[in-house]
Amino acid sequence: MTLPNFFNFVKHFHLRAHRDPARDWLLLLAFSTIALAGIIVWNVRAFDTVANGGTIGKLTTTTAPLFSRSSLDTIHTIFTSRAAEEAKYMTGAYRYADPSQ
């Protein structure tokens, strides 16, 4: 069947189609029910897989870490110095004038 003949067939079939709202709603509800059942089955399967310690999808291979120990030490030093400054404000070692009072 060539392409133009196919379009003529579709037009001919469409013109003869009897419109039945009850049938259309029934088909819509049937497809929706099938889709909902599929979604529920998929989610139950995924939950069961994860609950039993499995993973969903492909397992990834481990890669080398993207950070070095020296950069972690630097970050730790920065946060330690910030915590020390915060402690000075909290204990009253630093005094500042509050313009709102």
**Residue 3 pLDDT exceeds 90:** no
Q: Is residue 59 part of a domain?
A: no
Residue, of 100 and 38, whose pLDDT is higher: 38
Instruction: Say if pTM beats, i.e. exceeds, 0.75.
Output: no
Q: Is residue 61 part of a domain?
A: no
Q: Is residue 32 part of a domain?
A: yes
Separation CA 52–CA 45 (nearest Å): 11
**Residue 1 pLDDT exceeds 60:** no
Q: Is residue 26 part of a domain?
A: yes
| Each residue's pLDDT tens digit, 38-91 | 999 999 999 999 999 888 877 777 777 777 888 889 999 999 999 999 998 888
Cα–Cα distances (Å) from 25 to 14, 30, 32, 34, in that order, read 18, 8, 10, 14
Q: Is residue 96 part of a domain?
A: no
Task: Give me the number of domains the chain comprises.
Answer: 1
> Is residue 70 helix, strand or coil?
helix
Residue 63 pLDDT: 73
Tell me which residue range forms the domain holding 31: 3-54+67-91
Residue 71 pLDDT: 86
